[in-house]
Amino acid sequence: MKKILVTGGLGFIGSHTVVELQNAGFEVVIIDDLSNTTIGVLDKITEITGTKPDFHQIDLRVKNDVKNFFENNKVDGIIHFAAFKAVGESMHKPLDYYENNLGALVYLLQEMRDRKLDNFIFSSSCTVYGQADELPITEKAPVKTAESVYGNTKQIGEEILKDASKAHNLNIIALRYFNPIGAHPSIKIGELPLGVPQNLIPYITQTAAGMREELSVFGDDYDTPDGTAVRDYIHVVDLAKAHIAALERLINKNNKKGFEYFNIGTGKGSSVLEVIKAFEKASGKTLNYKIVPRREGDITAAYADTTIANKELNWKTEKTLEEALGSSWKWQQQQ
Ligand code: UD1
């Protein structure tokens, strides 16, 4: 049985990926510092799969702790989620973001180099494309100057991986996620935003639940069919499965280059108003919303061309926007 280290394995995407890894027959060891999640998620994963993953509470910024972990654990692959991810916060705390998102990455790669470990999957983001000149966005689209420190950590992270792959003969895949949403169909795991949500779906579900008065729709004067911004919302379970596909590509040595990257989205763009309508349909609730000015830093439209990921990873999304929103709503209701 192959043993896979999942860093940030108790977070939103990490926990869903752990479940899919276990379902696919992998043994999982999780590292998480619990900075943005709770230990209860470990029990929920166990309830879903029937197997408790090995867990280590480690802060990956502590190099010695990282070293100690690898001294005692031999792994066949690493899926690295652990990172800070709040765009706004990253502008006020750039050094914390660079330290956590890039320092930890370097420490992990050094251990891989020193111990001859291989197979690394990195959480990247469609944010590397900025406002792409052409839609849908293919992997050929140029990486644009990052708008945020968070985005910059993803770009620099990819650069580090490319260089490390080349110099140390490591096989690495970066997955450039579009907008992950939804919750596990068991409704045992999902997104746990702390405080006032910044992202659209948690804000919608909290508004529908009466925790927020109304949703602000940021701008209706974009150059899109209905004037609201367009994104590619992907169900987190579909996204989790892309990691298994990428991992199997590396383990089976089907990769074509040492460092590869793929767009992970549905290929379908949805406007904010379309998401609101789909949510109302999925939940049976009417949503309070008003149009307000654009949010600074937002782009007009981003959705993936997934042709390459579909072919090379032998993976495609299976769930609809309504399914994703329905699961987000159920998750919200049982909080
Ligand atoms: C954000 C991050 C991105 C990250 C992604 C997934 C920014 C600039 N980018 O993307 O790096 O990968 O989350 O975590 O923050 N909206 C509203 N009202 C709201 C909230 C959002 O109208 O209360 C709109 C936004 O203007 C946007 C869309 O909904 O058009 C999606 O917003 P959001 O969920 O925050 O994701 P992104 O901004 O696309």
The arithmetic mean of pLDDT across residues 207-221, rounded, is 98
Centre of ligand 1 from the C-alpha of residue 63, in Å: 33
In sequence order, the 6+-apart residues with CB closer than 8 A to the CB of 211 are: none
Three-state SS letters, the chain:
CCEEEEECCCCHHHHHHHHHHHHCCCEEEEEECCCCCCCHHHHHHHHHHCCCCEEEECCCCCHHHHHHHHHHCCCCEEEECCCCCCHHHHHHCHHHHHHHHHHHHHHHHHHHHHHCCCCEEEEEEHHHHCCCCCCCECCCCCCCCCCCHHHHHHHHHHHHHHHHHHHHCCCEEEEEECEEECCCCCCCCCCCCCCCCCCHHHHHHHHHCCCCCCEEEECCCCCCCCCCCEECEEEHHHHHHHHHHHHHHHHCCCCCCCEEEEEECCCCCEEHHHHHHHHHHHHCCCCCEEEECCCCCCCCECCECCHHHHHHCCCCCCCCHHHHHHHHHHHHHCC
Is pLDDT above 90 for 93?
yes
Structure tokens at 96: 């914390």
Q: Report the atom number in ligand 1 closest to the C-alpha of 148.
A: 8
Tell me which amino acid residue 266 is: T
Q: What local confidence, expressed as pLDDT, does residue 193 receive?
A: 85
Per-residue pLDDT for 276 more than 90? yes
The mean predicted confidence, pLDDT, of the chain is 98
Token pair 């879903």 in the structure block, residue: 48
| Candidate of 87, 204, 216, 223 to mutate for ligand 1, largest count of ligand atoms within 8 Å of Cβ | 87
- What pLDDT was estimated at residue 158? 98
List the one residue out of 232, 260, 235, 236 whose CA is nearest residue 246. Answer: 260
| Cα 113 to middle of ligand 1, angstroms | 36
The pLDDT > 70 percentage for the chain reads 100
The confidence band for 26, taking pLDDT boundaries of 50, 70 and 90, is very high
Pocket test for ligand 1, best of 89, 92, 199 (most atoms within 8 A of CB): 199
Q: Which two tokens mark 105?
A: 């990455």
Of all protein residues, whose CA lies closest to atom 10 belonging to ligand 1? 179
Kindly tell me if the per-residue pLDDT of 250 is higher than 90.
yes
Site to substitute for ligand 1 among 272, 290, 292, 294, most atoms within 8 A of C-beta: 272
Rg (CA), the chain: 19
Average pLDDT over residues 97-104: 98
Q: Taking residues 63-75, report their average pLDDT.
A: 98
- pLDDT(238) > 90: yes
Active site residues: 150
pLDDT (average), residues 106-134 = 98
- Mean pLDDT in residue range 105-120: 98
The answer to whether 13 and 240 are in contact (CB under 8 A) is yes
Q: What is the pLDDT of residue 194?
A: 85
Closest-CA residue, ligand 1 atom 9, reads: 87
Residue located nearest, by CA, to atom 13 of ligand 1: 199
What's the gap in Å between 187 CA and the centre of ligand 1?
23
Instruction: Using pLDDT thresholds of 50, 70 and 90, give the confidence band for residue 102.
Output: very high
Q: What's the average model confidence in pLDDT over 283-312? A: 97
pLDDT of residue 11: 98
298-329 pLDDT, tens digit per residue, is 999 999 999 999 999 999 999 999 999 999 99
User: What atom in ligand 1 is closest to the CA of residue 217?
Assistant: 22
List, chain by chain if needed, residues with CB within 6 Å of any ligand 1 atom: 87, 125, 127, 179, 198-200, 203, 215-218, 229, 231, 272, 295, 297-298
Domains with residue ranges and CATH for the chain: 3-184+233-265+306-317 (3.40.50.720)
Section 24-49 average pLDDT: 98
Global confidence as pTM: 0.98
pLDDT in tens, 128-155: 999 999 999 999 999 999 999 999 999 9
Query: What is the pLDDT confidence band of residue 249, given thresholds at 50, 70 and 90?
Result: very high
Q: Which atom of ligand 1 is nearest to the CA of 147?
A: 8
> Tokens representing 166?
């080349």
